[in-house]
Chains A and B, each alone.
Chain A
């Protein structure tokens, strides 16, 4: 009997403290993957000839929006891993190269997040946006992507293309 209660206590000890954090990591990975797939859909909808299109002169072009949202995760993630941001760039601003870059950047971010330890979610880091926890940086990464993808969707509208259905 005492053996059973010890076992139960041990099981609880292993399961309980990390539950909330593991749940958050799985949730963030799920939505990061959805964000990658949705961004690739939006990228695929614009014809090659309109990749340089912008609605007003001060804005980024469609291709520049996609490159920017793909480079930024590296800046959100590098403080967590104590590395220098190395976002890279596409081979050219042509559609195929930009799409390949979007995919590679998201996959690299997904790989990094999947390797995060529970400590890295709660620890504070110095970033370009000030001091933030690992969780803050991840939420910021997702939010920044949504922000620029939404602008890119407006460029599709302006070209008479109905953007892919919103996914989360």
Chain B
């Protein structure tokens, strides 16, 4: 019985240490955020400057607005997860140069922030009800939102006769 107790305490300490120091989840998010940054920049760069104001139908965002929206939303999601200030202000310049710069700023902010976290940090609840979410969900939310708008931006490329860059994850 005593041995079982000692073992239980030992396992308990191991378990806690593993959870506190582990970076398995963090590393997975960093890896996919880096791939997402590369693909988003490849899509942004594939559109010529002159077509940054192009939109497929009237109610939609222009290509430049889509790219800026990806940047702004990522900065927002990650700032909420990191409980810090969003590095991007209101984005009004929808030119290629500005949008590409904003994508770089936003993704670097997310990736640098992620690298400072541990897996346990990702399970923390942030925000106030009813919009509470774990840090993991904030980052994964930003990531998914990127795929949603980048998937649309790629169709704008198709409409301009440009084959979108190969999908990667």
A-side interface residues toward B, CB under 8 Å? 6, 9-10, 12-13, 16-17, 19-20, 23-24, 27, 31, 55-56, 58-59, 122, 129, 133, 135-136, 139-140, 142-144, 146-151, 153-154, 157-158, 160, 162, 166, 168
Residue of A nearest to B149 (CB): A150
The answer to whether B24 touches A122 (Cβ under 8 A) is yes
Main secondary structure of the interface of B (DSSP, over half): helix
Cβ of B130 within 8 Å of any chain A Cβ, yes or no, is no
B-side interface residues toward A, CB under 8 Å? 5, 8-9, 11-12, 14-16, 18-19, 22, 24-25, 28, 31-32, 56-57, 59-60, 119-120, 122-123, 134, 136-137, 140-141, 143-145, 147-152, 154-155, 158-159, 161, 163, 167, 169
Partner among B8, B136, B141, B149 whose Cβ is within 8 Å of the Cβ of A10: B8
Given A19-B123, A143-B147, A148-B151, A27–B15 Cβ distance below 8 Å? no
Considering the chains assembled together, what is the distance between the CA atoms of A75 and B47 in angstroms? 32
The answer to whether A150 touches B28 (Cβ under 8 A) is no
Given A19-B123, A27-B134, A58–B144 Cβ distance below 8 Å? no
Partner among B136, B155, B161, B169 whose Cβ is within 8 Å of the Cβ of A129: B169
The answer to whether B12 touches A16 (Cβ under 8 A) is yes
The answer to whether B147 touches A147 (Cβ under 8 A) is yes
Residue of B nearest to A59 (CB): B158
Interchain Cβ contacts under 8 Å between A and B, 30 examples: A9-B8, A9-B9, A10-B8, A13-B9, A16-B15, A17-B14, A19-B19, A19-B123, A20-B119, A23-B123, A23-B136, A55-B155, A56-B158, A56-B161, A59-B158, A133-B28, A135-B24, A139-B28, A139-B143, A143-B169, A146-B147, A147-B151, A150-B148, A157-B56, A157-B60, A160-B57, A162-B59, A168-B141, A168-B144, A168-B145
